[in-house]
């Protein structure tokens, strides 16, 4: 799919990705947990420590990677049970039903994934079936975090927008690790490095183009949102490779990048790492109306900026891929006042994504008429609305 696809809404039918049911076995605090969903917005209410976030983490494993906590898979096993964990889902996507299961490998060093009973080679197949996005309290400080944290955030959003992005990141990281290893082991083969850096440059251009395309189109959605309740974010990607892609065609950008990597070999040899590349890029966010950096905004404004980015991401992906990602929100809405919650509920109803939320206070969610509310207590869940 072209990255220059017009993001305006067209008459093409959109797909509503839906989780119809989920089952967790020996996962975190849950020995055996089952839940069936209708597709309406869902709120799971319970005290802190009841296991609400663990449910969202299990759902987040429907996307590539290690879920919303970025934990090791071996850490997801229930504390008092050495048996492997497993999560099973029934998914509705593109008017088709899929069975997706994932579980800890026997060696506890990864996870197995099955789609309709057939084992797949990796998690990169999951976005073909279902798209996910999430927002958690740990993300609130993203604007004050390290560049690597912000880069992982934007790359996760890009991965929903462009299916090959995660694969390209993994290819790049593998190639870079091989290059760094040659410096650490002092086994320098310039001919081999020429070939390796050519591959690194090729995939770097693809990564940078996806980031720039995504950020450009996301800014258009953010600009078109006329709701004055939310502060307006403007995003930029700052990086050497992104600058090359913005200034030159692909071939010239690749040529310059190859030359840069070659020129940097001596410096990289002494530092035992690759000092320049797409792994050094950073996400730069400003508040559009005040024209100030997001990191200088108040805590409340930062939370609102982040929510605006997530909502605009859902809208962009639904228009670009004609699919609605599922949104997971962990203890998020309690931080917003009633006016912003009302605006949020209206937007998710307009967008149409299935949304699964957690919280401790049921009153936060009662403004939304069409909603399923569950109470989680002692690892048991009860439908209360």
Please give the pLDDT value at position 101.
Answer: 97
Instruction: Identify whether 73 is part of a domain.
Output: no
Q: Looking at residue 296, which CATH number applies to its domain?
A: 1.20.1050.90
Please give the pLDDT value at position 277.
Answer: 98
Continuous H helices in 327-366? 338-351
d(CA 58, CA 55): 5
Please give the pLDDT value at position 88.
Answer: 98
Instruction: Identify whether 52 is part of a domain.
Output: no
**How is residue 306 written in tokens?**
């982040």
Instruction: Identify whether 287 is part of a domain.
Output: yes
SS3 60: helix
Continuous H helices in 185-334? 190-224, 240-247, 250-263, 265-271, 299-321
**How is residue 111 written in tokens?**
């996870």
Instruction: Identify whether 121 is part of a domain.
Output: no
129, exposed or middle or buried, with CB in 10 Å at 0-12, 13-18, 19+? middle
Q: 22, 28, 33, 21: which is closest to 85 by C-alpha? A: 28
Please give the pLDDT value at position 6.
Answer: 42
pLDDT digits (tens, 9 = 90+) for 287-329: 998 999 999 999 999 999 999 999 999 999 988 888 889 999 9
Instruction: Identify whether 75 is part of a domain.
Output: no
Please give the pLDDT value at position 369.
Answer: 80
Instruction: Identify whether 176 is part of a domain.
Output: yes
Question: Domain tally for the chain?
Answer: 1
Please give the pLDDT value at position 378.
Answer: 66
Instruction: Identify whether 261 is part of a domain.
Output: yes
SS3 354: coil
Ranges of residues in the chain with a pLDDT under 70 are: 1-15, 80-81, 378-379, 384-385
Q: 139, 136, 120: which is closest to 128 by C-alpha? A: 120
Q: 383, 382, 377, 380: which is closest to 50 by C-alpha? A: 377
- For residue 171, the 8-state DSSP code is H
Q: Which domain holds residue 298?
A: 132-322
Please give the pLDDT value at position 385.
Answer: 59
Please give the pLDDT value at position 110.
Answer: 87
Please give the pLDDT value at position 379.
Answer: 58
Instruction: Identify whether 283 is part of a domain.
Output: yes
Angle at the Cα of 97 from the Cα atoms of 382 and 120, rounded to 5 degrees: 105
242, exposed or middle or buried, with CB in 10 Å at 0-12, 13-18, 19+? buried
d(CA 202, CA 350): 39
Per the CB < 8 A criterion, the answer to whether 85 and 76 are in contact is yes
Which helix (H) or strand (E) is 57 found in, with range? Answer: helix 52-60
Please give the pLDDT value at position 384.
Answer: 64
């Amino acid at each position: 799919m072209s990255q220059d696809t017009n993001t305006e809404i067209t008459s093409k039918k959109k797909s509503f990705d839906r989780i119809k049911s989920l089952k967790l076995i020996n996962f975190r605090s849950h020995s055996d947990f089952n839940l069936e969903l209708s597709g309406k917005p869902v709120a799971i209410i319970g005290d802190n420590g009841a296991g609400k976030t663990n449910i969202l983490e299990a759902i987040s494993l429907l996307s590539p990677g290690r879920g919303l906590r970025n934990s090791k898979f071996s850490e997801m096993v229930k504390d008092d049970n050495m048996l492997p964990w497993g999560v099973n889902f029934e998914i509705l996507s593109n008017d088709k039903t899929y069975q997706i299961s994932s579980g800890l490998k026997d060696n506890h060093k990864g996870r197995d994934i099955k789609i309709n009973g057939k084992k797949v080679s990796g998690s990169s197949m999951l976005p073909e079936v279902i798209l996910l996005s999430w927002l958690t309290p740990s993300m609130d400080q993203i604007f004050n975090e390290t560049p690597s944290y912000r880069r992982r955030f934007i790359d996760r959003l890009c991965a929903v927008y462009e299916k090959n992005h995660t694969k390209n990141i993994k290819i790049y990281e593998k190639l870079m690790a091989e290059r760094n290893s040659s410096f650490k082991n002092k086994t320098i083969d310039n001919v081999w490095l020429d070939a390796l850096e050519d591959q690194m440059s090729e995939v770097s251009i693809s990564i940078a183009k996806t980031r720039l395309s995504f950020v450009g189109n996301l800014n258009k959605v953010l600009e078109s949102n006329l709701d004055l309740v939310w502060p307006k974010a403007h995003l930029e990607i700052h990086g050497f490779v992104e600058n090359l892609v913005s200034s030159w065609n692909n071939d010239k950008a690749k040529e310059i990048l190859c030359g840069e990597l070659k020129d940097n070999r001596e410096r990289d040899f002494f530092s035992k790492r690759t000092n320049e590349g797409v792994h050094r890029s950073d996400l730069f966010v400003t508040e559009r109306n005040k024209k100030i950096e997001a990191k200088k905004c108040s805590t409340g404004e930062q939370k609102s900026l982040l929510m605006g980015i997530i909502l605009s991401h859902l809208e962009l992906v639904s228009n670009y891929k004609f699919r609605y990602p599922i949104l997971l929100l962990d203890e998020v809405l309690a931080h917003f006042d009633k006016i912003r919650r009302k605006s949020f509920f209206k937007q998710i109803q307009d967008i149409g994504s299935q949304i699964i939320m957690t919280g401790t206070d049921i009153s936060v969610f009662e403004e939304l008429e069409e909603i399923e509310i569950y109470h989680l207590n002692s690892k048991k869940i009860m439908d209360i609305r």
